[in-house]
Amino acid sequence: MEQKLLLHAEKIDKRFGPTHAVNEVSLDFLEGEVHALIGENGSGKSTFTNMLTGILPIGSGTFTLMGHDVAPKNQVDANHQGIAIVVQETGTLGGLSVADNMFLGDEDQFIRRGIKDTAAMNRKAQELLDAYGLGYIKATSIIDNYDFEDRKLVEIVKSTWFDPAVLVIDETTTALSQKGRDKLFEVMDHVRELGHCVIFISHDMGEVLKMADRISILRDGDFVTTVNREDVDEDQLKTLMVGRQMDDHYYRTDYPDYAREQPGETAVSVRGVTVPGMIDDISFDLHRGEILGIGGLSECGMHEVGKAIFGASYDRTGEVVLADGTKVKDINTAIDHSIAYASKDRDNESLLINDTIEDNIALPSMRDMGRVLSDKKLREFSDKYAVLMSTKMVSVNQYVSALSGGNKQKVVLARWLGKQSDILVLDSPTRGIDIKVKAAIYALLEQMRKENKAILIISEEIMELLGMCDRIFVMKDGKINGELTRSPELSEQDLISKMV
C-alpha cells in the first residue's frame, strides 16, 4: 500500500552569518516510516530538524504537516502542533520533579484559576511512566535522583506520550546504553505503527540500516538524495555522505606480528588505580609506538581511566607512573610531562566554548611562551596547528562555539599537537563526528604512532577499536575483563563477549 505524505519541507533555508547551513532543502516524509537523515557534521541535518521543532526560527521555506503550514516558536509549541524531538544533550532540568520536567511549558492543562493541580500532574506523569514500563521512576522525585540514562528516558516519554505526528530523534542513541537504545527503538517502532513518522538522525550506520525505511543524505547544507534502505549498504551510504568513494584506508591496514615484535618502551604504568564506585584495581602499561584501546559498555568505568592518567581524577588511589619515575597526581604534572587528554565531554571539559580558537589551541602551551604573551606569536602558533588539522574556520579569532563538532575536535587535537605531547589519552575521539573527519583523525593517529608516541583510545565504538588499536582492554563493571591483540581475525563478537 502506498504510504501517504505526512510532512513536506519546501525549500527550507537557513544562514548563520556567512555560513549557509541549510540550502533550500526540500524533503518528503511519509506516514508510517522511520526516515533517517544522515550526513557529515556541518551537513545541516540538526539545523533542519531544529527549525522543524521550534528550537531555531525558520530562515525561509515552509514545513507543511498534514496539509497545514507549521512554524513552531518553541518546543512546546511544536508539541502542540504534533512535532516532538529528543535531543542528544540533557533536556531535563535539575531541581524540578520528574512530573514538572515532563510537563514543563505545558502546565496549563493542570491549571484551574491560576492554581496548578500538582497532584493531578503527578498522577498523570506516573501513569505515563508506568505505561512505558518505567514505573521505577517516581513522578514526584526530584529528577536529580536519576542518572543520565533515566533522565533521557523521561525525555522520551515527555516527547512521545501524546503520539506526535513527527518524532525527531537527534543523535540520541550515542548517549544511551543498550537498554536505553532498545527502549528508544521500541518507541520508534510504535510511532511508525501508529502511521506517524520518525526522523532519525544518527552517525551509526548499523542502526540506520536496521531502523530506517528510507534514508536522506545531506551534504554541506544541500540535499543529495533519498534512498530506500534495502537498496544501499554502509559503504554506499558513506560514499553518498562524503561525495567520494571511501577507500580501504579508513582504519589501519597493518597487523604487526606480536610474537616477533617487542613492544616499545613503556611510557605510562598504571598500577592498582581505583576510583570508588567507578574503577577497581586497574593496572596496565602503555608503550611508545602503540595505540592501546579500552572499550566496554558506557558505564563500565573506562572514561574514568583516562581522567586518572591525566591527573584529573580526584578520588583516585593507586599510581600512574611515567618512564622517568614521575608520579602523575595532578593535571599540571601531566601536562608538564607531555601527556595530552581529550575528554568525552568535549564542550564542557575539552573546550573553552566561549573563547577563540586561538586561546583554545594555545592555552597549555602558553606556559612555555614567557611571562608576557606576544599576540603575534600566539596567533601564528594557533594558526599553524589549526591549519595542520585542516580546521574549517574563518580565522583563529573565531569563537569555538561557532564550529561544527568535527572541527571542535580538530581544535582539541591541534592543541596537543602544538604542545608536542608524547602521550595522548583520547576519550571518544571521533564521537559525533562525520566519517571524513574521522578518517583524517585516524590517519593522524596512525602517523603519530609511527612517530613513536603512546596513544590510548577510550571508545564505545567497537569498530574503531578493532580498526585502530594494537591492543584492546575490555572493561566490565569497573575492572579489566579481557585483553585482546590486534589481528585480522579479531571480531566484534570477541569484544562484545567480554563487555556484557
Q: Which CB atom, from 38 or from 201, has the smaller least distance to other proteins?
A: 201
Q: Which of 373, 394, 496, 500 binds other proteins (CB under 8 A)?
A: 373
Helix 148-160, helix 178-193: angle, nearest 10: 0
How far apart are the C-alpha atoms of 301 and 252, rounded to whole Å?
26
Nearer to other proteins, 144 or 189 (CB): 144
Residue 499, burial from CB neighbour count under 10 angstroms (0-12, 13-18, 19+): middle
Strands 471-476 and 479-485: antiparallel
Q: Pick from 74, 253, 332, 485 the residue near other proteins by CB under 8 A.
A: 74
Amino acid (one-letter) located at 180 = G
90 vs 447 by CB, closer to other proteins: 90
Q: Which of 10, 24, 28, 77: binder of other proteins (CB under 8 A)?
A: 77
Helix 148-160 vs helix 118-131: crossing angle, to nearest 10: 100
Instruction: Please say whether the beta carbons of 307 and 471 come within 8 A.
Output: no
Kindly state the smallest distance separating residue 315's Cβ from other proteins, in Å: 6
Kindly report the backbone phi and psi dihedral angles of residue 483, in degrees, each rounded to the nearest multiple of 5, phi listed first. Answer: -125, 130
Question: Rule CB under 8 A: is residue 104 a binding residue for other proteins?
Answer: yes
Residue 76 identity (one-letter amino acid): V
> Binding of other proteins at residue 205 (CB under 8 A)?
no
- Residues 444, 272: Cα–Cα separation, whole Å: 31
Among residues 42, 33, 58, 39, the alpha carbon closest in space to that of 201 is found at 39
List the one residue from 57, 105, 135, 276 that touches other proteins (CB under 8 A).
Answer: 105
| Span 140-159, contacts to other proteins by CB under 8 A | 142, 144
Q: How far from each other are the two terminal CA atoms of the chain, in whole angstroms?
A: 41
Q: Does 369 bind other proteins (CB under 8 A)?
A: no
Q: What is the nearest approach in angstroms of other proteins to the Cβ of residue 485?
A: 34
Pick the closer one to other proteins by CB: 186 or 330.
330
Place of cell 604534572: 333
Using only C-alpha atoms, the chain has a radius of gyration, in whole angstroms, of 24
Site string for other proteins, 302-341 (x = CB under 8 A): ----------xxxx--------------------------
73 is an interface residue for other proteins by CB under 8 A: yes
- Complex with other proteins: residue 257 or 375, whichever CB lies closer: 375
Of the residues 21, 37, 55, 480, which one makes contact with other proteins according to CB under 8 A: 55
Q: How many residues contact other proteins, by CB under 8 A? A: 35
Q: Give the span between the Cα atoms of 410 and 69, in whole angstroms.
A: 40
Nearest-approach distance from CB 496 to other proteins, in angstroms: 32
CA distances from 52 to 43, 48, 126 (A): 16, 7, 29
Residue 259 is a binding residue for other proteins (CB under 8 A) = no
Least distance between other proteins and beta carbon 71 (Å)? 14
CB-nearer residue toward other proteins: 283 or 374: 374
| Torsions phi, psi for 156 (to 5 deg) | -65, -45
Question: Residues in the site for other proteins, rule: CB under 8 A?
Answer: 54-55, 73-77, 90-91, 93-96, 100, 104-107, 111, 114-116, 118, 142, 144, 312-315, 356, 373, 375, 378, 397, 399
